[in-house]
Amino acid sequence: MRFASLVLLALVACGDNITGRITIGTPDAWSPALAEFVAFTPYSDLSLGQGGDLHIEVIDDAAIPLEGYRIERGDHITVAAHDVLGAQYGVAAALEDLGFRFRHPFDTARPWVPTDSGGDSALHAPQIRVRGLQLHTLHPIEGYFAFWEPSPENTQDAHRIIDWLIKNRGNYLQWVALDDIMDPARHAAWQPFTRELIDYAHMRGVRVGLNIQLFGKSNLQLAFDLSDSDTIPLSTSVAQRLPLVTADLPFDVYSLSFGEFFNADPQKFIDSVNEVASQLRTFAPQAEMHASVHVGATQRVTYRGQELLYYFLVQYVDPLVIPDIHTVMYYNLYDDAGGAYQHDDFSEHRQYLLDRICANQPVAYFPETAYWVAFDDSVPMYLPLYVYSRQRDLAGIAADGCGNPLDEHLLFSSGWEWGYWLNDYTALRASYELTEMQPLIDHAFGKDLGPAASLVGELIAEQKHAYIDERLTGYLVGRDIAIDTGDKLDPPIISQPDRVTFEDLVANPAIELDGPVLEPLRAHEKVLADIIQRLEALDLPVSQWSNELRDGVTIDRLRVRFVLANYAAVLAHLRGDSGDASYLDAQEILAAAKEIVTARHAQLHDPHGRRLVDETTNVTFYQFGYLYMADTLCYWQRELDQVGNILGKTMDVPDSCLF
C-alpha cells in the first residue's frame, strides 16, 4: 500500500543496559493522533526513525470496519485499520501484546523488556457504537481537576485521560458542568480551556459531551442548571444560560439531568425538556440531546392515566431526545438492588432499556463504576464487584435485546484509586467486544499481577454473594449525617441501602440481627481471611500495583471485622454486659486500618501530591479530595464514637463526615 509519506514515531526504553526500541510507522493523516499516543506512553524517550528492536507498521485498509483493527505478524507487526481510532486501538493492542497495560490514566504498567506474546490475527470491531465515560466532575475526583480547573497542567492531564480512554477502546467522553461559570470571570477562563479540550478530543477521534442540569430546586450539588427561579420564565432562563455552554463550544452531546429526590409537575417536566431541546437546536444544531433517567422507587407520578417512575417521563418528550437509563452503585439490571434508592431491583429500568433496543430506538445505558459518597472508595472499600455487574449487564442486554445491539454504554466514573481503575478498564473493553468477566481481569492484571487474577475472581463472587444476594451492603458502607437525617424523614430519603443502626438497636433491643446480618458477615470475613492468606502466598513482584491489591483486600476484611466488633459491643451492652472487649477490638481494628490507609495514600497513582486526600479549595460542594473521608477514616471513627456514646466510653460528638 502506498502513502504520500510515512511518519515514523519511536519509543525507546532503557534500563540497566537492557534496551527494547519500538518504532511505529503511520500514514500522514493519523500521525498527529499517534504522535500524542506515543507522547503519553511512558516508555522512556520518544524518537523518530526507521528500525528499532520492534517495529509496528500502521496501514490504511478499506476492508477494516470503522474503529476496527487487525494485527498481523511477519518481519514486523502490521496494524491494519481504516480510521484514526482503529489505528490507535490496534497500536494499543500491539503494545499490550508486548506487555504494556494501560491501567490508570496517570500510571501505565510497562514491561521490563518488551516481548511479543503472539496475540491473534482476528478482526476486532466494536459491538457497541458509543463507549465512554462520564467523569462526575461534581465531585473532587481526578477528572474534576483535569477538566474543570483551567491550567496548563490540567490541560495536560485531560489529554492523558483522553489518551487512556482511547487505549482502552473508548470513543466518547462526557463531564458535568458546575455553576461557577455563571461568574463572567470564571467563564472567561473556562471557555477557551474547554474549547481546547474539545478540539484535542476531536483530533484524537473522540466525541465529547457536557452534562447540565435543568431545575435548580433539585440541584443538591453545585451543578450548572438552566432554571433556578420561578419568577423568570423557563424559556427566558434557558435562552440566557444555554449560550454559556454552547457558544464556540462544539460539544457533540448535551445531556440533561434532573437532580435527585424532588419531582416537578409532570407536564411542566415535559414542557421544560422540550423547551431545552428546541433552543438547543438553535444554539448547538450539531449536537445530540440526551436526558438522564435516574432512579428513585418512591418518586412516582401519574401521567395520562398511567403511574410511572418520575424520570420515566422522558419517554414523552421530543423523540429526538435520547434517554440515558441509569442504575447506581455496583447494582445491575438483573440482580437484587438491595434497597438502593428504595428499589428492590431495577427491572423497570431494564424493561425501558430493552423496549427501546427492541424497537430500534436510540438509547444509552448509564451505570456506575464508582459511587463515591460514603459508599465505596471513600470508605475505603475495594470493590471489584463492579466488574461483575457491568459485565452481567452487557451480557444480559446482548441476550435480551431482540438481536439488536445496545447503541451506547456510558459509565458514571468517580475515581480510580484503590483499584477502581479496574472497573473502567474492564467495562470499556467489554463494551468494545463482549467478554467473560475472568478474561477481562486476566488481561488487566497481565504478567505482573496475573497470579492473583483468579483470586480476584473469587473475591468478586464472594462480594456478589455477600453484598448483593445476602444484602449486607448497608452494614459495610459508610453513613454521614445527611444519610442518617434522610432516613428519619417522613417519607424517608434513602440513597444507599439501609441498615439497622446502633440507635435502632438501643430503641428496640428485640431486633433480630444475628441470623440475617451478623452470621453471614462472620462467614464473609472467613472467606476474606482465606483469600488474603492465599494472596500473601503468591510470588507477586513488589510494586505499587501489588501493594494496592493487598491493601484493598486487607481493608475489606478489616471493615467487616470492625463492623462486627461494633455491633457485638452494642449487643453486649444491651444484654447487661460491659461490651468492653468488643469495643477494644474495634479500636485496635481501626488502628490497623489507619496503617493500611496511610501506606496506600503514600503510593497513589495520582502524581499531584495529596490533592485527593486533603482538604482543598475547589468549586464543587465538597472542599476536600474524594479520598479525604477514607484518609481520615471518618465513617469508621463516627461509628466508633456512636458505640462509645452508647457504652459510656466517650462523650465525643460523632463527626458528621459531611463537610
Q: What is the SS3 assignment for 457-500?
A: HHHHHHHHHHHHHCCCHHHHCCCCHHHHHHHHCCCCCCCCCCCC
Given a cut of 60, whether residue 456 has pLDDT beyond it is yes
Counting residues of the chain whose pLDDT is more than 70, the rounded percentage is 96
Burial 127-145 (b: 16+ CB within 10 A, else e): ebbbbbbbbbbbbbbbbbb
Query: CB-based burial of residue 500 (10 Å sphere; 0-12 exposed, 13-18 middle, 19+ buried)?
Result: middle
Contacts of 247 (CB under 8 A, 6+ apart): 191, 283
Return the axis-axis angle of helices 437-449 and 453-463, rounded to nearest 10°: 140
pLDDT at 14: 33
Query: CB-based burial of residue 435 (10 Å sphere; 0-12 exposed, 13-18 middle, 19+ buried)?
Result: middle
What is the DSSP annotation of 505-517?
HHH-TT---IIII
Neighbours of 533 (CB within 10 A): 9
Given a cut of 70, whether residue 15 has pLDDT beyond it is no
CA distances, 477 to each of 37, 205, 332, 414 (Å) = 38, 39, 18, 16
CA–CA gap between residue 384 and residue 374 (Å, rounded): 17
Query: CB-based burial of residue 508 (10 Å sphere; 0-12 exposed, 13-18 middle, 19+ buried)?
Result: exposed
Burial 445-468 (b: 16+ CB within 10 A, else e): bbebbebbbebbbebbebbbebbb
CA–CA gap between residue 471 and residue 98 (Å, rounded): 42
Lowest-confidence pick of 357-371, 384-398, 645-659: 645-659
All domains of the chain in start order, with CATH:
6-121 (3.30.379), 130-441 (3.20.20.80), 461-647 (no CATH)
Task: Identify the band that residue 75 occupies on the pLDDT scale cut at 50, 70 and 90.
Answer: confident
Using an 8 Å Cβ cutoff, are 437 and 390 in contact?
Answer: no
Given a cut of 90, whether residue 117 has pLDDT beyond it is no
What value does the mean pLDDT take over residues 277-285? 98
Counting residues of the chain whose pLDDT is more than 90, the rounded percentage is 87
CA–CA gap between residue 417 and residue 139 (Å, rounded): 14
CA–CA gap between residue 642 and residue 478 (Å, rounded): 13
Question: For the segment 379-413, what is each residue's pLDDT rounded down to a tens digit?
Answer: 999 999 999 999 999 999 999 999 999 999 999 99
pLDDT at 50: 61
pLDDT at 490: 82
What is the four-CA torsion angle of 533, 537, 539, 545, rounded to 10 degrees? 10
Whether the bond between 362 and the residue before it is cis, its omega within 30 degrees of 0, is: no
Contacts of 633 (CB under 8 A, 6+ apart): 590, 593, 594, 597
Could you identify the residue written with the cell 520518544? 46
Q: Is 352 helix (H, G, I), strand (E, B) or coil?
A: helix
pLDDT at 250: 98
The average confidence (pLDDT) of the chain is: 93
**133 vs 5 pLDDT, higher one:** 133
Neighbours of 154 (CB within 10 A): 18
Task: Identify the band that residue 47 occupies on the pLDDT scale cut at 50, 70 and 90.
Answer: very low
Query: CB-based burial of residue 348 (10 Å sphere; 0-12 exposed, 13-18 middle, 19+ buried)?
Result: middle
Question: For the segment 617-628, what is each residue's pLDDT rounded down to a tens digit?
Answer: 999 999 999 999
pLDDT at 54: 84
Neighbours of 550 (CB within 10 A): 20
pLDDT at 263: 76
pLDDT at 261: 62
pLDDT at 42: 87
Task: Report which of 126, 3, 147, 131 is spatially closest to residue 61, judged by C-alpha positions.
Answer: 3
Using an 8 Å Cβ cutoff, are 560 and 517 in contact?
Answer: no
Given a cut of 90, whether residue 262 has pLDDT beyond it is no
Q: What is the DSSP letter of 121?
A: -
Could you identify the residue written with the cell 492484571? 445
Question: For the segment 200-211, what is each residue's pLDDT rounded down to a tens digit?
Answer: 999 999 999 999
Determine the distance from the C-alpha atom of residue 170 to the mean position of all C-alpha atoms in its chain, rounded to a whole number: 13
Question: For the segment 408-429, what is each residue's pLDDT rounded down to a tens digit?
Answer: 999 999 999 999 999 999 999 9
Contacts of 257 (CB under 8 A, 6+ apart): 211, 212, 213, 214, 223, 291, 292, 294
CA–CA gap between residue 276 and residue 147 (Å, rounded): 24
Question: For the segment 211-248, what is each residue's pLDDT rounded down to a tens digit?
Answer: 999 988 777 789 999 998 888 999 999 999 999 999 99
What is the DSSP annotation of 594-643?
HHHHHHHHTS-S-SSTTTTTSB---SSS-SB-TTHHHHHTHHHHHHHHHH
pLDDT at 323: 98
